[in-house]
Structure 1
Amino acid sequence: MAQTTMLRRYLPATIVIAGLAGGYLLGLHHYLTLEFLADSRERLTGLRDANPILAPLVFAAIYALAVAFAFPAASILTIFGGFLFGWLLSSVLVAFAATTGASALFLAARSAFGDTLKARVGPRAAKLAKGFEDNAFLYLLALRLAPIFPFVVVNIAPALFDVRLRTYVAATFLGILPGVVAYTYLGEGIESVILAAHEAGREASFGDLLTPKICIAFAGLALVAIIPAIVRTLRNRRG
């Protein structure tokens, strides 16, 4: 009985760790670069055009698995999505896929390490714990909005502080939306840069990236960065 309980507790986390290690051993990280995107543009768009329904679903599944296995690929995959499907469709795909993958990782971390890690971090995480205890939804929402901590860290941290799954899902989905839209818009802008350079018979240079669309995308990211400060100010005023 005890062995069965231990297996159920640690199996999800073991699968995550094995999947992450397997991804690196297979060299999947080499495909998650802008260089690969530029070199494989025609092949990727060809697959997309040949499979208009399946391609978005496969992309969403790959995205959810990458997040669930804690693979550090959220930003580049979001750009890939904007490149392949445009900012609107890819924003929807990424928002749902990222939330699904993050929730799976959250549940795995809570099952295996929640009580143990919470006991070990002790006073060093007191401030973080207080934030979740005061208002878990708003605190997690602020963490999602602020691109300060790595995505995978924010996926796992709430597992240490008894955050409810529905709270986690809602705050994650809403909190990642601004960044998702900005990065997919950036991806759509990169598509136009690659196409223009390809038509001119040359490789895209850094100067080519300074297009109005990409400048707007970076302005959006800058706005996302200051949203948490605005939220804190409004909350303090109400307090």
Structure 2
Amino acid sequence: MEQPDRATRLSDTSPVTRFLRPLLMLGLLVAGALLMRNIPALHHMLDSTVLLRDGVKGRMMFLAGASLWCAFGLPRQVAGFAAGLAYGVGEGTLMITLASTLGCVAGFFWARWGGQAWARARLGTRFARLDAMLSQQPFISILTLRLLPVGSALLLNLLGGVSGMKVLPFIAATVLGGLPQNLVAVLLGSGIRVDATWQAVLGGGLFIVSALFGMWLWRKARITALMPESQEKSERPV
């Protein structure tokens, strides 16, 4: 007997489940974000360089706290600043990149569980066109949006999750696309610690370069998306 594909399994989900899962997904995200902002222990951990530098234990605490912080859509610049302050440029960049990626992947799978069936059932052809673009060019789509200086990382995680894209291109694009902004935050944090003005200047330069590169990729992706349609029109008989 043939196994049903993903689209069939999603369409067979009960209406009650399709209604409750998005509510649970969004409710937990909102509640988690509010809770994360108001946990004194978490803020103390991110502010305490002594605690974060405490060997493997301190680094595991940073990864756990910063991953949760990023998973609920809170500004990763805060965690990146703390990483730079505690670990310096090299290790700090590695730590915040790992933590922010873990948080994004958690949001990706949470959205896939809670919102994919609802999006397919309620948004119809509008979602189908977006899903096709993301599924056909997952890496370039996510990389482009990650590099843009505007937008919400949380919304991008949710968008990737509800689409049909695979997780590995999402992870790769998230690591590369988030690296410039992570490095900017780490440089600012480590620059305050060592009083190195050039690091803050370099951080600002990296932010501008990443923004320009992101806009260039976005324009190229739009042109590529229009090419098949243009070719199809040109091939039609007059």
How far 1:223 moved relative to its partner?
0.9
Name the stretch that deviates more: 76-85 or 226-235: 226-235
Retained in 1: the 8 A contact 2:108–2:158? yes
Partner SS for 1:162? coil
Q: Map 1:16-95; keep pairs closer than 5 Å.
A: 17-18=27-28, 20-21=30-31, 24-25=34-35, 27-28=37-38, 44-49=48-53, 51-68=54-71, 70-95=72-97
CA distance in 1, matches of 2:185, 2:211: 13
Q: 1:185 to 1:127 in 2, by over 3 A?
A: farther
Q: 1:214 to 1:148 in 2, by over 3 A?
A: same
Task: Tell me the equivalent position of 1:223.
Answer: 209
Q: Structure 1 length normalisation: TM-score? A: 0.72
Task: Tell me the equivalent position of 1:204.
Answer: none
CA distance in 1, matches of 2:37, 2:184: 28
- Counterpart code for 2:200: I
Q: Map 1:110-121; keep pairs closer than 5 Å.
A: 110-121=112-123
Identity of aligned residues (%): 21
Q: Map 1:148-187; keep pairs closer than 5 Å.
A: 148-187=150-189
Q: 1:66 to 1:139 in 2, by over 3 A?
A: same
Q: Please list the CA deviations of residues 189-214 of structure 1 after superposition, one character each: whole Å capped at 9, or x if unmatched.
A: 13245xxxxxxxxxxxxxxx9x3321
User: 5+ residue gaps in structure 1?
Assistant: 194-208
Q: Please list the CA deviations of residues 104-161 of structure 1 after superposition, one character each: whole Å capped at 9, or x if unmatched.
A: 1111111111121244345666774453144111111111111221111111111232
Retained in 2: the 8 A contact 1:74–1:151? no
Q: Structure 2 length normalisation: TM-score? A: 0.72
Partner SS for 1:53? helix
How far 1:166 moved relative to its partner?
1.6
Residues matched between the structures, number: 210
- Counterpart code for 1:54: K
Task: Tell me the equivalent position of 2:147.
Answer: 145
User: 5+ residue gaps in structure 2?
Assistant: 1-12, 228-238
How far 1:102 moved relative to its partner?
1.0
Retained in 2: the 8 A contact 1:87–1:188? yes
Task: Tell me the equivalent position of 1:108.
Answer: 110
Q: 1:45 to 1:161 in 2, by over 3 A?
A: closer
Q: 1:89 to 1:216 in 2, by over 3 A?
A: same
